[in-house]
Amino acid sequence: MDIALEQVEYRYQPNTPFERLALHNISLEIPSGRYIAVIGHTGSGKSTLLQHLNALLQPTKGKITIGDRVIDAGKKEKNLKAIRQKVGIVFQFPEHQLFEETVEKDICFGPMNFGVPEDVAKKRARELIRLVGLPEDILAKSPFDLSGGQMRRVAIAGVLAMEPDVLVLDEPTAGLDPRGRREMMDLFYELHRAKHLTTILVTHSMEDAAAYADELVILHHGELKRKGPPREIFSDPEELEKWGLSVPDIVRFQSTLEKRLGKKLGKTCLTAEELAEELQSLLKRGGR
């Protein structure tokens, strides 16, 4: 499902002393099946942008096309439920959204709201609970008896159970331990590949952005500053610094190394493996 934003502007609390311009002149196309990472400093409008993708917020100017629905500024939209089924959002700290008596009921809650029959929803719950790395017997427990990390997984399973075409992730791994982070991020990438999901990730981790995304989008003070593949974006560390961002550790290591060696490597490497290969080929060519 393609999503396109055209000159979108969003103001919080317009016409009050608390008015705040959160997004300004955002034009962005998200073709079906892409993995896009949105990065930017705190308060740059990332989360506001996300909420436009399934019409939780509607633009104060401009228009948004989500699949075959067009959302124009200033129009009262009805029947947004169809959009919300297609575009699943995992919010920051999604464990706060759990409320049912059992984990199973909570996972089934989303799909059943969209008219999925109970037995199908339960089947999905059983599949998903294993997919997110939890034992099946947890389904019968109360979500409030679980640990923070487990609650997070249950909440994510609850969003995945709606089987969205577009998965929007707002810092899904904030507050998880390093292993949990990696597992979750790998799971999302796996789903993205296997189900051809369009994935939009908001993150502060440049490593994650570099490792998974096809394209990066940089927001700064509510404006879209740059859009491009990670290799291109991370090749210019000075520019990123202007927007309060940094490059992944590997990239920084490479540029320090390049300065010491006094020569440039073939390309900007995004992972340790890539860098190792580049260095190896440099050695083979006899460069010192």
Partner 1 sequence: MMEKMIFGRYIPGDSVIHRMDPRSKLIFVFVFICIVFLANNAVTYAILTAFTMLVMLLSKVPVRFFINGLMPILWLVVFTFFLQLFFNREGQLVFHYAFIRIYSEGIRQGVFISLRFLLLIFLTSLLTLTTTPISLTDGIEMLLSPLLKIKFPVHELALMMSISLRFIPTLMDETEKIMKAQMARGVDFSGGSLKDRVKAIIPLLIPLFVSSFKRAEELATAMEARGYQGGEGRTKYRLLVWRPADTLSLCSLAAVTVLLVLFRDGGIL
Contacting positions for partner 1 (CB under 8 A): 13, 15-17, 51, 54, 56, 81, 84-85, 87-89, 91, 94, 96-99, 109-110, 113-114, 144, 158-159, 162
Which tokens is 133 given? 């790395």
Min dist. Cβ of residue 264 to partner 1 (A): 45
Q: Closer CB to partner 1, residue 79 or residue 135?
A: 79
Are 19 and 37 contacting, i.e. CB atoms less than 8 angstroms apart?
no
Min dist. Cβ of residue 127 to partner 1 (A): 18
Best CA proximity match to 157, nearest among 182, 188, 179, 181:
188
Q: Closer CB to partner 1, residue 97 or residue 205?
A: 97
Say how far apart CA 228 and CA 216 lie, in whole Å: 5
Min dist. Cβ of residue 14 to partner 1 (A): 9
Q: Closer CB to partner 1, residue 34 or residue 52?
A: 52
Q: Closer CB to partner 1, residue 4 or residue 56?
A: 56
Min dist. Cβ of residue 50 to partner 1 (A): 10
Min dist. Cβ of residue 43 to partner 1 (A): 14
Please give the DSSP secondary-structure letter assigned to residue 37. Answer: E
Can you tell me which residue has the tokens 């909420």? 51
The continuous run of DSSP H or E covering 64 comes out as strand 61-66
Q: Closer CB to partner 1, residue 80 or residue 279?
A: 80
Q: Which residues contact 120 (CB under 8 A, 6 or more apart)?
A: 111
Helix residue spans in the chain (DSSP H) = 46-52, 81-86, 103-113, 118-131, 148-160, 178-195, 206-212, 230-234, 237-242, 249-261, 272-284
